Amino acid sequence: MSLSETAGAKMADGGTEAPKQAFWVRNGHFLLLAPGVVWMILFLVIPLIMMVYVSFWTQTTFAIKSDLTTKSWVTFFASETYFGALLRTLRIWLTVLFFTLLIGYPTALFIGQFVRNKTVQTILLVACVIPFWTSFLIRVLAWRPMLGKEGAINIVLQKIGIISEPIEVLLFTELSVIIGMVQIYVVFMVGPIAFMLARIDESLIEAARDLGASAWTIFRKIIFPLSLPGVVVGAIFVSVMVLGEFATAAALSGRKVNLLGNIIVTQVGSLKWAFAAVVGVILTVVMAIVITTLLRVVNLRREL
């Protein structure tokens, strides 16, 4: 007899105690959710609501008042600097997403499909994570002696005589920010895709081959569609991290490339809470749209 049947039987007895007891028997398992729900309400839902609320507060140079106004919002969309930062963030995000996929997919394809030994697969995936054994800051700053005017790349290219003058666009430009981000985040693309690819049953590929399909058709019709959930998960990882980025941009652009994240940092630094909240709301909305769109691409619930 299941729990609910027990409860039903007690209810039928009609005792005064029975309904109360039955309620807890039926719904007691929801108590398991309580710690999580409390935590999320306190530290996610309330702060989100506060952020939206604060974004309408009145900001003066030295203080912030809770009088509602849309001034901060108007400033954001009217200002070339701030609206430009939104567009730049979107552009850099799309570029980084494109390159992480371009570099990550073939790598994942190799690990997931052409390495059949599970141990070697794991070793290769771990190897992808080795850069993470150093701190984020070192990984980012290490690009400076690499890309700088007198950095490794320029020296080597000059030594072998390909260029006579150092290439200056390598560092403290949007390019250096993109190079840095792609290097840091590509592994988040490789992992989920390699995982999905490794799960594809070898017999499916044999069956397709047996039915006369070429290697390219097999990739297009079987392997790629089946790896798509991995691509989407990887893209979500990369998107969430790149959209909220500020450190790489600050370190590799010499503060010339300002992303939404950098604006939040500076505004909070100068105690402009209302304006920082506006940028925060916009960033949250952008991320929500991006994730929803990506999830529309595949039905993750069905595929995973």
Partner 1 sequence: MMELRGLSKSYDGRSAIADLSLRVEDDEYLTLLGPSGSGKTTLLRLVAGLDLPEHGRISLNGQDITALPTYRRGLGFVQQNYALFPHMSVADNIAFGLRNRVESPVSDEQEVERRVAAMMDLVGLQGLGNRMVGQISGGQKQRVSLARTLITEPKVCLLDEPLGALDANLRERMTVELRNIRQSLGVTFFHVTGNESEALAMGDRMIVLDEGRAIQVAPPDEIFDRPATVRVAKFVNSYNILEGGVTDGVFVCGDLRLPVPDGGADTRYIAVRYDTPSFEAEGTDGAAGQAGLTATFLTSEFMGSRVVYFFRSEAGTVFEVERHLSRSDPETFTGGDRKRLGWPVSETLFFDGNGDRLVVTHARGAA
> Applying CB under 8 A, does 222 fall inside the site for partner 1?
yes
> Applying CB under 8 A, does 164 fall inside the site for partner 1?
no
CA-wise closest residue to 147 among 252, 250, 248, 249: 252
> Applying CB under 8 A, does 297 fall inside the site for partner 1?
no
**Which stretch in 127-135, 200-208, 241-249, 273-281 sits in contact with partner 1 by CB under 8 A?**
200-208
Least Cβ distance, residue 188 to partner 1 (angstroms)? 24
Cβ proximity to partner 1: between 222 and 300 the closer is: 222
**Which stretch in 48-56, 97-105, 182-190, 212-220 sits in contact with partner 1 by CB under 8 A?**
212-220
Rounded Cα–Cα distance for residues 251 and 248 (Å): 5
What CA–CA distances, in Å, run from 220 to 203, 224, 235, 269, 271?
17, 6, 19, 50, 53
The correct pick among 209, 237, 241, 300 for binding partner 1 (CB under 8 A) is 209
Q: What is the CA radius of gyration of the chain?
A: 26
Cβ proximity to partner 1: between 213 and 291 the closer is: 213
Cβ proximity to partner 1: between 103 and 228 the closer is: 228
Rounded Cα–Cα distance for residues 127 and 132 (Å): 10
> Applying CB under 8 A, does 233 fall inside the site for partner 1?
no
Least Cβ distance, residue 281 to partner 1 (angstroms)? 38
Q: How many residues of this chain interact with partner 1, rule: CB under 8 A?
A: 19
Phi–psi pair at 21, nearest 5 degrees:
-60, -45
What CA–CA distances, in Å, run from 134 to 151, 215, 246?
21, 40, 19
Question: In the 8-state DSSP scheme, what is residue 24?
Answer: H
CA-wise closest residue to 18 among 3, 7, 2: 7
**Which stretch in 42-50, 111-119, 208-216, 233-241 sits in contact with partner 1 by CB under 8 A?**
208-216
> Applying CB under 8 A, does 301 fall inside the site for partner 1?
no
What CA–CA distances, in Å, run from 99 to 21, 174, 185, 246, 274?
59, 14, 10, 19, 35
Cβ proximity to partner 1: between 15 and 225 the closer is: 225
> Applying CB under 8 A, does 214 fall inside the site for partner 1?
yes
Residues making contact with partner 1 (CB under 8 A) = 201, 203-204, 206-214, 217, 221-222, 225-226, 302-303
